[in-house]
Each structure stands twice: as structure tokens, then as C-alpha cells.
Amino acid sequence: MQDTIVALATPPGEGGLAVIRISGPRSLEIARAFFHRADRRSLDAVKSHRACFGEIRDADGTCIDEAVFTFFQGPKSYTAEDVVELAVHGGVFVSAKVLELAQAKGARLAGPGEFTRRAFVNGRLDLSQAEAVSDIISAASDQALKTAVSQLKGALSEKLNELFQDALQLLSQLEAAIDFPEDDLKLAHSDEILKSAEALIERLHRLAATYDQGKIIHEGARVILAGKPNAGKSSLLNALLQEDRAIVTPYSGTTRDLLEERARINNIHVNLIDSAGLRENPEEIEKIGIERARAALADADLILLVFDGSQALDDNDRLLMQTVAGKQSLLLINKNDLTQELDAEALQTELKKAPLFLSAATGEGLDALRQAIYDHCAPQLKESIIITRKRHQEGLELAAQALERAAESVRNQLSEEFTAVDVHIALDHLGAIVGKNFSDDLLDLIFGQFCIGK
């Protein structure tokens, strides 16, 4: 990468500070054209990782703003290239003016994630560490942040490289069997290869299985409120969010589509989803909302079954019970502030769940509900290292499948050359996770999700 890029590294808008980042072989040369030290010394004398104070001046020498200049000489920088960071007063016009000056001197405006992409290409980070940078930025809970920082520091990379090296060792065992084809040695090698493959397969599956919990940490648990029309789902959503996000009316069927909101409940990140009321013989326009509700129920980590305590159980309630049978759920009896007509004891017996009595209108029972959501959704981590991205899970499972084919080849006494093909495939899948082998399309997909300036 021979060009030099520039971007705003802080969120756009008004604020205390704005930081403009320049990276590439001409970063110092470009900054020299418009930044002038207050002590009048040349920027050529600036030391790496040292800050100095000065002014940003435009082409005619007019001062645009005061700034703090910091130079990071490659490879000891974020991108492993020469990097300049300019901290100016936060403001849309000032930062835009600095970007304009840098571009006028030959810098190119960076694309999304391009600084981190350069860090990866230049060998400062592997691909899983680069993804962790994005995860730190988007972390919405203590556990999400802790996991992302651990991955940035290389805990996951170390584990993946260990698996990669073990697969390489398996390949070397196959090559030894090829080099020494004697029957007695071949049998001994086959037993050793099979044991190694089976042990590695088990470890791959175990790490891949951590994605179920890792997904909740990274993306948040999907918690959907389900019930018949007018059971109080939207009121309950608003009460949990502590703000009016869903429209609430006395008329049934007000919610016609899914409404999803992020929330922190007892220090975990959840996605609360309000859904259309389930009922038999809905109107035509309601059918679409109900179908979307059913699809969301199938993908939910937890379902909040909302029953109206002021009404006796009816066919719509029974439709709900049939729809969610066998799924992870909490039984909620809402409107506990009103005269109760629902036979809660019979409902508890039928669903084999203890109900939570609450009132979205008064707030009664909401603390108990928050605790119950936390108890069901908080990740129960059994492994010290987990994966949080679908890409990693798929790579691990594909590697395991390739090794399972290799193990089957050994059992069937197929040639070592044939078996080695699948081991090579497993190595390719493992290597792709950390970026030992990659395509530009994969990098575009990963770094395209970053913000500009990171």
C-alpha cells in the first residue's frame, strides 16, 4: 500500500475534541504542509510517540485552529505505517477543513475500516484480532467488552493457531506414513493418525459450540414478547425500556409488525421484540404481522408469554401455548392491578411453569421479571475462550467435517495421499479464521462493517 489515507477518527459532530488520523508513507510530509509547531521547530525533529502543540494553517497562512500533533513512526503504530494524529477542537467545520487540507496535499479519504485493514495486511493484527477491534467499539455489556479485549490481546488467536499447528502435525504424520510404507509401520501410523484426528475433531467441535453463548454476548439475547392481542405486550415493552417506544391503545391489534429495541437488563445486553398479537381468524393485514411474529418466535433465545390476568383463558391464549410449546419461555400474568379472572393455578399446571405476576401499568413485578430475564439469558461460560462470530463457528465446523472425512479414510484404509487432501482442506478453513489465507472479498465484507476512521 503506497498511498496515504486520512479520516476523522472520532464521531462527526460537535464535541470537545476531534481527532484526524493520517496513515501512510507521506503522512509526515502531508501534515508538515499545514501544521506548524508553536516553538517554530521543524516537524522533522519530532520524536515518535511524542506530542507537540501548534496551529493548523490553510494555504494562505490563516490559522484555522490550534491543535496537538502526535507522530507514530511505523512499524510501532496502529497500522504499522507512519501515522499522524491531529487533535483539534471538536466541530464539523474545523475537522472538515483539516480533511480538505490533507486531501489537497495528496492524502486519500479512507474507506470503512481501512486503518485496521492496513494493520492486518501489515501483520500487526491477525483477522480475528481485527474483528475484535470492531467488537470493542460495539460492545454493549461488560462481558462483551471483556471478551472482545481478550480476543484483541490474542487469546482466541493463540487457541486457533494451536489447533492449526495440531492439524499440521497430523499432516506430517500422514507424510511419514507415505515415506515409510512398510505394512507393520503403516498399521502403527494409522492408529496414531486416527487418534490424533479424533482428538482434534473433538476440540474443534467444543470450541465451535461456544458460539451459542458467544452470539448472545456479541449480539445480545433475542427476547420476544408474545401473547394474544391486548394482553399488554407493548405496555410491558415500554415499561422494561422505561420509555414509550411502542404505541399503546385500548384497541386490540394495534401492533401489526415487529418492534425491536436494545436494552440493558441487569448488565446484559438484550434485544426486546414486541410482536403482533396471536389470534385465530385475523384480519388480512394482521396475518403478515402474525407470520413475522411466528418467525421471530422460532429464532428467539427467550419468549415472554404474556397473559391478561383480567380475562379468563380463551382460544387465542391456547393458540399461543401451542405455538411456543417446547421453547424456552417465562410465564407472565399481566394486569395484576385489575380484578383477576384468569385461573393462574390451572395455567401453571398446564404449562409446568411458575408464573410471574406483574403490572406494566404500575410497575409491580418488573424487578422480578428483569432478574428472571437475566437468569435465563446471562451466558453460562464453561470455556475460558469462546467465539462470538458466525464466521468463526462455520470455519471450525467445516474444518471438523474435513477431518471427519480424513478419519473415515483412515478407517477404510484408503491411501495417505487421499486422506491428506481433507487435512489440507481443514487447514485452509482454520487458516481463513485468523487470515493465514484470505480473499479481497472476505476483507471487504469484514472491514466494510467498520466505521470510517478505524
Tens-place pLDDT, residues 277-300: 676 655 665 666 677 777 778 888
Q: What is the rounded average pLDDT of the residues 410-433?
A: 90
Has 431 been labeled as part of a binding site?
no
Domain boundaries, the chain: 5-126, 140-210+387-434, 219-377
* pLDDT for the residue numbered 452: 83
* pLDDT tier at 404, thresholds 50, 70, 90: very high
249 annotated to a ligand binding site? yes
Number of other residues whose CB lies within 10 A of the CB of residue 50: 10
Phi and psi torsions of 100, nearest 5°: -65, -45
**pLDDT tens-digit readout, 177-234:** 776 666 554 555 678 888 999 999 999 999 999 998 899 888 888 999 988 888 888 8
Q: Any binding-site annotation on 70?
A: no
pLDDT at residue 279 in the model = 63
Q: Give the CA distances from residue 296 to residues 122, 213, 272, 357, in Å, rounded to whole numbers and listed in that order.
A: 42, 19, 11, 25
* CATH ID of 5-126, from 3.40.50.720, 3.30.1360.120, 3.10.20.440, 3.40.50.2000: 3.30.1360.120
CATH fold of 219-377, please? Rossmann fold (3.40.50)
pLDDT at 383: 73
To the question of whether residue 255 is assigned a binding role by annotation, the answer is yes
212-225 burial: b if 16+ Cβ within 10 Å, else e: ebbbbbbbbbbbbb
As given in the structure block, the three cell numbers for residue 299 are: 429464532
Residue 254 among known ligand-binding residues: yes
Q: Which three cell numbers stand for residue 166?
A: 495440531
Could you report the per-residue pLDDT of 43-54, keeping only the tens digit for each?
A: 888 889 999 999
Residue 378 is assigned to a ligand binding site: no
Q: 382 a known binding residue? A: no
Check whether 415 is labelled as a binding-site residue: no
Is 235 assigned to a binding site?
yes
276 a known binding residue?
yes
Is 275 assigned a ligand-binding role in the annotation? Answer: yes
Q: Identity (one letter) of the amino acid at 310? A: S
Bridging pattern class, strands 302-308 and 50-57: unpaired
Does 253 carry a binding-site annotation? yes
Dist. CA 224–CA 226, nearest whole Å: 6
Is residue 405 over pLDDT 60? yes
In this prediction the pTM is: 0.80
What pLDDT is stored for residue 240 in this prediction? Answer: 87
Residue 274 assigned ligand-binding role: yes
pLDDT tens digits, one per residue of 436-447: 988 888 888 888
Q: Flag whether 419 is marked binding.
A: no
Q: Which residue has the higher pLDDT, 418 or 204?
A: 204
Residue 132 annotated as binding site:
no
Q: Would you say 277 is a known binding-site residue?
A: yes
CATH no. for 140-210+387-434:
1.20.120.430
Residue 14 in grid coordinates: 460537535
pLDDT of residue 251: 45
61-80, pLDDT tens digit by residue?
A: 999 999 999 999 999 999 99
Residue with the three cell numbers 401489526: 256
How many helices (H) and strands (E) would you count in the chain?
Answer: 16, 13
